[in-house]
Structure 1
Amino acid sequence: MKRVLFLALLFFGGFAIAQTTVNGKVVDQNNEPIPGANIVITGKAIGATANFDGDFTLETSEVPPFQLTITSIGYASATEEVTSNNQTLTIVLSETQTFLDEVVISASRTPERIFESPVTVERFGLQEIRNTASADFYDGLENLKGVDVNTNSLTFKSVNTRGFATFANTRFMQLVDGMDNSTPALNFPIGNLVGMIETDVQSVELLPGASSALYGANAFNGILFMRSKNPFDHQGLSGYIKRGITSQEAAGDNPYTDFGIRAAHKFSEKFAGKVNFGYLKGTDWAATSEVDKTRVGGTRSDLNYDGINVYGDEVSADIKDVAVTLEGLGLLPAGANALVPSQEVSRTGYNERYLTNYNAESVKADWGLYYRPWENDFEIAYVGKVGTGSTIYQGTNRYNINNFFQEQHKIEFRNDNFFLRGYMVADKAGDSYDMVFTGININRAWKDDQTWFGEYTGAYVQATLAGATNEQAHAAARAQAESGRFEPGTPEFEAAFNRSINDPNLSTGSQFRDASKYYHVDGNYNFSHLVDFAEIQVGGSFRRYGLNSFGTIYTDYDGTIDYSEFGLYTQVQKTIDFNEGMNLKLTGSVRYDKSEFFDGFFSPRLSAGLTLNRDHNIRASVQTGFRNPTTQDLFIGLDAGRAILVGSAPDNLDRYSRSFEVSGAAQQNFQQPAAITQTGKAAYENSYSLSSVQRLGVTGNPADLVIANPEVVKPEQVTSVEVGYRGKIDKLVIDFSAYYNNYKDFISQEVVIAPYYGTVGDGSLSVAAIVNDDFQAYSAYTNSDVDISSYGASIGLTASLFGGYDLSGSYTYAKQDFDQEANPDFMSNFNTPEHKFKASLGNTDVFKNFGFNLAYRFSDDYFWEATFGNGVVPEFHVLDAQISYKVPKIKSSFKAGATNLLGDEYFTAFGTGFIGSMYYVSWTINNL
């Protein structure tokens, strides 16, 4: 590594020669060291960081006299004069800084006190990361006010705010050092699976709500900003190791390991570099529910059973139709179909535990080279990131994401007034596969569907003719059809399993293939150093997608699908000062975004923040946001079993096609061919609504059928109004916000039924197709034609008590305003509890070097709605706890902690495994 850095130094012009050395120590008012304090030359980006003992050495080519600025989170800044070479300083920082004084960047794309931010901001800094009771910093985000963290698996958690969440959360953006962390193939963030390691995290900021005015189309529900440590400011070797167990009733007790190391060095005032490596391994939360996901109260003994975490039983048929076909082929005696009732029967499925090993693993590394050619704030940086891992993702089906790989490469030019960056994100699916289709195709490898249902129906007829009751006939039929079934653990089962997960054809296999990428360029310039009237910023971005799933997800059968989008924005911010510390901060911004498939859209934002004095601020904002349809909304072409997902890009509807067998009754009675071919257009141009087809099945009245023919998808819009207050009363800090969101052209999926023949509304032939089960269910990507609104409020209280005990609590209310009864086929996926409460209590120094933290979370019950399935998520109470001990002599801190200490297992989404407890100990070294 040193050789590489040395060559890079030569390329950029050689080493700078240090002329002045300053030594010192940073302490608090009790003469205790302040590790991680930043010491910089005032007005320049040259500095050092205090080590674990508070000591620092600053070497610079600056010639005295010059001034140093010293800062640390939780303390007031200080300045010191350097008058000579080899000067030694002792710097005392006062513990007078509060939460309101912390600086954030995300709200306005410029540094400002969180107290003065024009919109709601949540911050998770170094101190909070060190003291979190959660297993890692990313899990600690769920203790922030107003934040929902939905657990997909041990290594994949989805962050969201203000409702409308799924695991495929395309409404929420994650940025790591300015780079979008969403995967090219799936178009949404995959948590921290290939993200940052804990010792490199500088800060985390979260903007809840629409942020499109500055950040574009995907910043619709909020943004999570993660910033890493710059090696110019944070040098040295640091690392951590955590060992423990996960404990779950279904999976038992299993080992858990999390390891990370960071190496950073400033070679001169011009050049610095860093390398990070992280490794995590554990056992995922097993999903073992056998509840029928389509019928309340359904059990495994039901004829048309479809278990939540049982796969293969999604395949079903009406044995009456099978009997008609068999009789027409002469395989049943004439009139035999009269003995068979109209009854849907499903194949027997396999439990999820037989189709995955629940391995949860993450391996990630990143590196950066940083060059400051003039030893000031102008910096050129190259950053590379790679990550691979195994996890479970729940979308339309449940997926084993195995050996998934993602890489990012970024070049950035920046100083205090501008940045220009370009980066590439690419992924590979590795050995990933669909567990639902694995179960389906293991069944088919043993006995194809036609044979299985034929044997079932034939055996039912034989048993009925022999005098069996209906129940006895069904039992005999299933026993006959199940003869020779591949049992889990047998060589036949393992061979069929391996064939399926290595075959991308969903009619015979379940492999998920992908090698997609996107290229992104964005920049921003702040004119505040040139214009005195106001702070003016301009910026823009461009993105080019290259989708390549080899036809397994998208309709990219013939090669990569390429398309692009761009955006431009500006912001003007003006502060009007009144007397006695009162001021009014006005912010106006507007962004224009354009996708090649849709008309351009303007997203304005206006906000005002009235600072009454240093301790009280009132804010209000109104903004519009928009969201372009995602890659899946546009180009997906995926048979998910119960329905086919078809995106509605202009050329996608013709590109997706599928052949279907037509029933014998239709061939005989309506002279239909034995097979027909449908394209994606059938979903959007010749379909009935699902609810009306279900009513027809009950009433038999064709007049109940309702034409669906959903519109092709277009951009979604939101108008958001927010008011808030931040203030301090004595030692109590208050942060309150309330919002109202109104959505137009809300993007979601609508399940529709397309008949194989006839035209919807014709009153005869298309109705016959429905009656004969000659139809296909499609999940169409479209927009709601009704208003959808949501509103809510949150309040957070923080106080420091009894000399060092930090107590905080928050309450969040969220509600959706949508008439589901009037729109039974439309899923809004609000998926958030109406009431949430969170609280924490901690002290970093109960006695010298010993601290603790407790974190409690309550979630009200709520209804989870997604393509995999719908169901109630019961309320839950979770308590996390940790104790810590610092050993300054070896620059170490030790922690013992437990998550879900109460042991009450819970889940945050329908269909996932129950979340158990985790117990761990950790050792962190030199984390400054």
Structure 2
Amino acid sequence: MRTILSIVLLFFCALTFAQTTITGTVMDNNGLPIPGANIIVTGTSSGNVTDFDGGFTLSTDSNPPFSVQASSVGFSTEVMEVTANNQKLNFVLQEGSILDEVVLSASRTPERIFESPVTVERFGLKEIKNTASADFYDGLENLKGVDVNTNSLTFKSVNTRGFATFANTRFMQLVDGMDNSTPALNFPIGNLVGMIETDVQSVELLPGASSALYGANAFNGILFMRSKSPFDHQGISASFKRGITSQEAAGDNPYTDVGVRIAHKFSDKFAAKVNFGYLKGTDWAATSEVDKIDPTRTRANTNYDGINVYGDEVSTNIRAASGLGFIPDVVVSRTGYNERDLTEYNAQSIKADWGLYYRPIEDNSLEISYVGKVGTGTTIYQGTNRYNIDGFFQQQHKLEVKNDNFFIRGYEVSDKAGDSYDMVFTGININRAWKSDEDWFGDYIARYAEIELSGNPLGLSTQQKHDAARAAADTGRFLPGTPEYKAAFNRSINDPDLSTGSKFQDASKYFHSDANYNFSHLIDIAEIQVGASYRKYNLNSGGTIYTDNDGPIEYSEFGIYTQIQKDFEFNEDMSLKLTASGRFDKSELFDGFFSPRLSAGLTINRDHNIRASIQTGFRNPTTQDLFIGLDAGRAILVGSAPENLDRYVRTFGVSQVGQDQFGQASTVTQTGANAYNNSYSANSVTDFANSGNPALLEVANPDIIKPEQVTSMEIGYRGKFNKLIVDFSTYYNKYKDFISQEVVVAPYYGVAGDNGLSLAAIANGDFQTYSAYTNSEADVNSYGASLGLSTKVFNGFDLSGSYTFTKQDFDSETYPDFQTNFNTPEHKFKASFGHTEVFKNFGFNVAYRFSDDYFWEATFGNGIVPEFHTIDAQLNYKVPSLKSVIKVGATNLTGNEYFTAFGTGFIGSMYYASLTINNL
């Protein structure tokens, strides 16, 4: 703390006395100003950026003569000589192509996107300012090959190349080098606690495996978000957005999004910045009453389980429960509550970050920085159940030392669940607060038996008998809006014990450090990098998510890597870049894994580049895969770390038939080991129940989990034909030890496969359903291709389009219990048309997206996601005198509501107007 206070004092005390002042402008080849262009004294760290009118003032200690460089993403770089004090420089930058843009992520070193050894997508300042989406994060869904699944208004999950749920542990999101995933959930929750738009410098996205440089979680892709440096972008900038969201289920509701950035360069050595963001709206309401298992069933069905109806997950076989032969052999579920009665659909995000930056050596890139980030918000998350994430809090703190050749950083990420709760268990436990499951089913059976024993004098049909039994059991039930309901609701969401409550409780964290050194300034023969990383987890849910009742669970992992890159110049028109990378990672829970990558990029005639790569990747099981112990209603989730199996303990009641006919005790105690050592597959139990044929039962006993592996091969092309820019890639992925969950059934008595007592247990309903984390023996492969085209038409209009094909290869008939969660449309098409300045100060952009229908499968439920088409559009007007941009826009202009995942609310339209000030 003393060190930080000292630095802060130096910020306000340090002064330098400039000897030379330069002014000027930076324009494009059409005479239009380029705001935000970088102006740097060549060979030094002295610099500034142009203002809204393209003007700049630069003061430096350097004495003439010296050179000044002007550059901006998407334009050429120009250099001019300064020969006197107070000289005026007027730069004219030629507009370049997107192939000239520089990316950092592909090789951990700056390089033109044209020469990148692997596929990379970039979203720069121009794209951010002109996106037709409501904000920059939503705008990522317009990138080639990118899927954005909407969980809620403030929680969207980015993914590439398939295999994703909202719990997207296969995809990594980095903000200025920090992993943005939450310690509790093990994946990023969109941009809920991420970046403020006015501070975003660039966004890069690597599709596919990148373990060779980035480690275990870089399995399906990485999203890199980089913020603006206060040395280069100073002043106060702000964005104010106001509008409405419109949805049939929720109506029209106000939407507000505010972002403020304050940055100041105190001298060439000290700079600081602060960002603040606030968003508030109403979430997309999820109101489906379609039955999860059988869409043809209605609420009149005895075993109804509505998609967005909760509490009806509790069910039992009423004949087995009663032991009476004249009671129907059917499963009956309790009456549930609609989701809209269990949440107010608030969507809110409040986030802030700050940074102190110190460059101790003049004309040297060495920089020492401290960055802090905090965020809190309310959103809807869909995992095994639907969760109201209320007041979730996450913070990050990073110390970093870096220059052009190395970096060393360490950061901590911690979270608190706030007032979050599980809506499914809220519905279940409101019911139980009114009447226990035993009493409710007892009342149901009693009324049905009364009708039967009385000879059914009213001549009721079977359906009417069940309706009468349900009405009797529901007499006095707490109704939404009543004081009794509100009191039971409040008790539930504040109780972390899932047998009586639904509170989501967690205060987990992890510490991460990594370092990288690039030897290119010391070695001429090739560019060589080496690096390492270390991470330590501390899981602390108080036994509500993980099996950490007796204290936090800790474990760690580390990795080391190297990369060698060599350019071969054959002549002026042809060159070859070869890259070889390798990384070794080791978790204390698993054997070490080596992941190599080889790539080659051949440049022909300067305008055409052909690339090819092969790499292996791996994915360590997540914290939940290993240590979860959570009763999710329909199944108990038990992680498969060996020490976790016996740590999860639960007592269950045995049916009356099991007690009377088979001599069993009234209760039985099981551990998580039963799921892995004494279980049948869930599908075979269903087949047995439907047919009565015990030969259909299949012993499951899944193996405990181990890391998943992938071998990825990719071929691509980037080039331009006059004004047409082409980017094509195709890939093939082969997976080994694919990680997934297998639903199994563990009998309360007997041994699975004994053809005796365990069969009786299954027949009597004396069993528990588990969701086990394991690896499949199935061969899982995926392949696909993407084609992107962009050009300028009609004298400066931007026109672009992309097509993506994605397919999985998996034998589902042989492995019916195994879900890959591919969750990706086979065909996607995207297009955009716009102009940054169709006439003076006026621009627009229109974006179109098409998604083919696809099958969504996840722990919450499975179902078809129908195809959809959307159109987003925006108009913008620059007001140079106010250094501002006024924008009006709309998303989903057609108003045709759609959804991207089974179980979520339909996505409606958004209409907004925004004012952005001084965002350079």
SS of the residue 1:500 aligns to: helix
Query: Which is worse superposed, 55-64 or 865-874?
Result: 55-64
Question: Cα deviations across residues 111-131 of structure 1 (Å, max 9, x unaligned)?
Answer: 000000000000000000000
Whether the aligned pair in 1 keeps the contact of 2:246 and 2:909 (CA below 8 Å) is yes
**What does residue range 734-753 of structure 1 map to in structure 2 within 5 Å?**
734-753=726-745
SS of the residue 2:492 aligns to: helix
Whether the aligned pair in 1 keeps the contact of 2:14 and 2:266 (CA below 8 Å) is no
Query: Which is worse superposed, 80-89 or 488-497?
Result: 80-89
Q: State the distance in 1 between where 2:908 and 2:687 align.
A: 41
Q: State the distance in 2 between where 1:4 and 1:261 align.
A: 24
Whether the aligned pair in 2 keeps the contact of 1:15 and 1:270 (CA below 8 Å) is no
Structure 1 position 411 matched with structure 2 position 399 = yes
Aligned to 1:276: 275
Question: Cα deviations across residues 321-365 of structure 1 (Å, max 9, x unaligned)?
Answer: 1221xxxxxxxxxxxx12211110111000000000000000000
Aligned to 2:544: 552
2:356 to 369, 376, 398: 369
Structure 1 position 723 matched with structure 2 position 715 = yes
Structure 2 portions without partners, runs of 5+: none
Aligned to 2:26: 26
Q: State the distance in 2 between where 1:464 and 1:417 align.
A: 84
SS of the residue 2:289 aligns to: coil
In the TM superposition, residue 173 of structure 1 has moved relative to its aligned partner by: 0.2
SS of the residue 2:811 aligns to: coil
Q: State the distance in 1 between where 2:236 and 2:608 align.
A: 42
Aligned to 2:453: 465
**What does residue range 445-464 of structure 1 map to in structure 2 within 5 Å?**
445-464=433-452
Q: State the distance in 2 between where 1:46 and 1:182 align.
A: 35
Q: State the distance in 1 between where 2:531 and 2:621 align.
A: 23
Q: Which amino acid aligns with 2:45?
A: A
Q: State the distance in 1 between where 2:885 and 2:266 align.
A: 28
Question: Cα deviations across residues 834-869 of structure 1 (Å, max 9, x unaligned)?
Answer: 000000000111111111100000000000000000
In the TM superposition, residue 142 of structure 1 has moved relative to its aligned partner by: 0.2
Q: Which amino acid aligns with 1:763?
A: N
Whether the aligned pair in 1 keeps the contact of 2:253 and 2:282 (CA below 8 Å) is yes
SS of the residue 1:74 aligns to: coil
Structure 1 position 910 matched with structure 2 position 902 = yes
Q: Which amino acid aligns with 2:85?
A: N
SS of the residue 1:578 aligns to: strand
Aligned to 1:35: 35
Question: Cα deviations across residues 229-252 of structure 1 (Å, max 9, x unaligned)?
Answer: 000000011001000000000000
In the TM superposition, residue 67 of structure 1 has moved relative to its aligned partner by: 1.4
- Quick one: percent identity of the two aligned structures? 74
Q: State the distance in 2 between where 1:474 and 1:577 align.
A: 81
Aligned to 2:126: 127
In the TM superposition, residue 704 of structure 1 has moved relative to its aligned partner by: 1.4
Query: Which is worse superposed, 83-92 or 710-719?
Result: 83-92
Q: State the distance in 2 between where 1:647 and 1:480 align.
A: 40
Aligned to 2:88: 88
Question: Cα deviations across residues 689-719 of structure 1 (Å, max 9, x unaligned)?
Answer: 1111111112212221111000000000000
Q: State the distance in 2 between where 1:592 and 1:613 align.
A: 38
Structure 1 position 340 matched with structure 2 position 327 = yes
Aligned to 1:703: 695
Q: State the distance in 2 between where 1:551 and 1:66 align.
A: 65
SS of the residue 2:300 aligns to: coil
Query: Which is worse superposed, 298-307 or 394-403?
Result: 298-307
In the TM superposition, residue 570 of structure 1 has moved relative to its aligned partner by: 0.1
SS of the residue 2:223 aligns to: strand
In the TM superposition, residue 19 of structure 1 has moved relative to its aligned partner by: 2.6
Whether the aligned pair in 2 keeps the contact of 1:663 and 1:674 (CA below 8 Å) is yes
Aligned to 2:347: 360
**What does residue range 542-621 of structure 1 map to in structure 2 within 5 Å?**
542-621=534-613
Structure 1 portions without partners, runs of 5+: 325-336
**Count of aligned residue pairs for this structure pair:** 913
Q: Which amino acid aligns with 1:807?
A: L
Whether the aligned pair in 1 keeps the contact of 2:14 and 2:267 (CA below 8 Å) is no
Aligned to 1:153: 152
Whether the aligned pair in 2 keeps the contact of 1:518 and 1:546 (CA below 8 Å) is yes
SS of the residue 1:717 aligns to: strand
Q: State the distance in 2 between where 1:87 and 1:423 align.
A: 44
Structure 1 position 57 matched with structure 2 position 49 = no
In the TM superposition, residue 275 of structure 1 has moved relative to its aligned partner by: 0.4
Aligned to 1:16: 16
Q: Which amino acid aligns with 2:271?
A: A
Whether the aligned pair in 1 keeps the contact of 2:638 and 2:772 (CA below 8 Å) is yes
Aligned to 1:105: 104
2:619 to 619, 623, 627: 627
Whether the aligned pair in 1 keeps the contact of 2:385 and 2:423 (CA below 8 Å) is yes
In the TM superposition, residue 5 of structure 1 has moved relative to its aligned partner by: 8.2
SS of the residue 1:528 aligns to: helix
Structure 1 position 442 matched with structure 2 position 430 = yes
SS of the residue 1:233 aligns to: coil
Whether the aligned pair in 1 keeps the contact of 2:492 and 2:501 (CA below 8 Å) is yes
Structure 1's consecutive aligned runs of 4 or more residues displaced over 3 angstroms after TM superposition are 3-7, 11-17
1:489 to 478, 481, 484: 481
Q: State the distance in 1 between where 2:706 and 2:828 align.
A: 33
Whether the aligned pair in 2 keeps the contact of 1:386 and 1:405 (CA below 8 Å) is yes
Whether the aligned pair in 1 keeps the contact of 2:11 and 2:271 (CA below 8 Å) is no
Q: Which amino acid aligns with 1:194?
A: V
In the TM superposition, residue 68 of structure 1 has moved relative to its aligned partner by: 1.4
Whether the aligned pair in 1 keeps the contact of 2:581 and 2:597 (CA below 8 Å) is yes
Query: Which is worse superposed, 338-347 or 62-71?
Result: 62-71
Whether the aligned pair in 2 keeps the contact of 1:12 and 1:373 (CA below 8 Å) is no
In the TM superposition, residue 486 of structure 1 has moved relative to its aligned partner by: 0.3
Aligned to 1:286: 285
In the TM superposition, residue 12 of structure 1 has moved relative to its aligned partner by: 11
Whether the aligned pair in 2 keeps the contact of 1:463 and 1:476 (CA below 8 Å) is no
Aligned to 2:413: 425
Q: State the distance in 1 between where 2:896 and 2:489 align.
A: 34
Q: State the distance in 2 between where 1:20 and 1:359 align.
A: 54
In the TM superposition, residue 296 of structure 1 has moved relative to its aligned partner by: 3.1
Query: Which is worse superposed, 731-740 or 458-467?
Result: 458-467
Q: Which amino acid aligns with 1:314?
A: E
Aligned to 1:304: 303
Q: State the distance in 2 between where 1:403 and 1:908 align.
A: 25
SS of the residue 1:169 aligns to: coil
In the TM superposition, residue 16 of structure 1 has moved relative to its aligned partner by: 3.4
Question: Cα deviations across residues 9-42 of structure 1 (Å, max 9, x unaligned)?
Answer: 5389943333322222112233322110001122
Change (3 A) 1:233 1:6: farther
Question: Cα deviations across residues 251-285 of structure 1 (Å, max 9, x unaligned)?
Answer: 00000000000000000000000000000000000
SS of the residue 1:651 aligns to: helix
Aligned to 1:332: none
Q: State the distance in 2 between where 1:896 and 1:274 align.
A: 29
Whether the aligned pair in 2 keeps the contact of 1:16 and 1:270 (CA below 8 Å) is no
SS of the residue 1:456 aligns to: helix
Aligned to 2:257: 258
Change (3 A) 1:493 1:927: same
Whether the aligned pair in 2 keeps the contact of 1:860 and 1:875 (CA below 8 Å) is yes
Whether the aligned pair in 2 keeps the contact of 1:284 and 1:358 (CA below 8 Å) is yes
Aligned to 1:229: 228
Aligned to 1:391: 379
Q: Which amino acid aligns with 1:352?
A: E
Q: State the distance in 2 between where 1:374 and 1:60 align.
A: 15
Aligned to 2:188: 189
Q: State the distance in 1 between where 2:467 and 2:267 align.
A: 79
Structure 1 position 524 matched with structure 2 position 516 = yes
Q: State the distance in 2 between where 1:14 and 1:257 align.
A: 39
Aligned to 2:209: 210
SS of the residue 2:726 aligns to: strand
SS of the residue 2:426 aligns to: helix
SS of the residue 1:839 aligns to: strand
Whether the aligned pair in 2 keeps the contact of 1:603 and 1:624 (CA below 8 Å) is yes
